[in-house]
Amino acid sequence: MVGFSYNVWRMEITEYNANIRDASFEMLLQLSELELIIYSGHYDNDPIAGNPRKAWVKVGLIKDLSQITNARMQLATEKLHQDWRENWHTFIQDNQSTELLIKSIDETRSEVRFLLATLE
């Protein structure tokens, strides 16, 4: 009975970790794509690759994926969402907005890496 209970517990932990890893890796990909959109809009003045509407989708997906993770990750993605909401309309022209958004992406990326490092 103890062995069966342990196996069930271990399978639940393994599935939880796999879900967290999948969500985390996807968030890292989306964060990179968001960063590329910001760089394309700000530095390359590319209205297609740097389109803020594409970035809204990325920010929303990152926030949605964080719901699978933990509270700390959800706070980080909420901050990213708030920073984007406050600066999306100025990042193309304003260095300060761009730097703030990149800093927010970097902080979120750090939280993802921390979460991955804490998995069993």
CATH topology of domain 2-117: Four Helix Bundle (Hemerythrin (Met), subunit A) (1.20.120)
Collect all residues with Cβ–Cβ distance below 8 Å to 96 and sequence separation of at least 6: none
Average pLDDT of the residues of the chain = 94
The predicted-structure confidence for 72-120, as pLDDT tens digits, reads as follows: 999 999 999 999 999 999 999 999 999 999 999 999 999 999 999 999 7
Q: What residue spans define the domains of the chain?
A: 2-117
Number of C-beta neighbours around residue 25 at 10 A: 13
The yes-or-no verdict on residue 8 having pLDDT over 70 is no
Collect all residues with Cβ–Cβ distance below 8 Å to 76 and sequence separation of at least 6: 66, 107, 108, 111
Banded pLDDT at 59 (limits 50, 70, 90)? very high
* Across 55-78, average pLDDT: 97
27 against 2, higher pLDDT: 27
**Distance between CA atoms of 89 and 73, rounded to whole angstroms?**
25
Question: Of all helices (H) and strands (E), which one includes residue 59?
Answer: helix 52-66
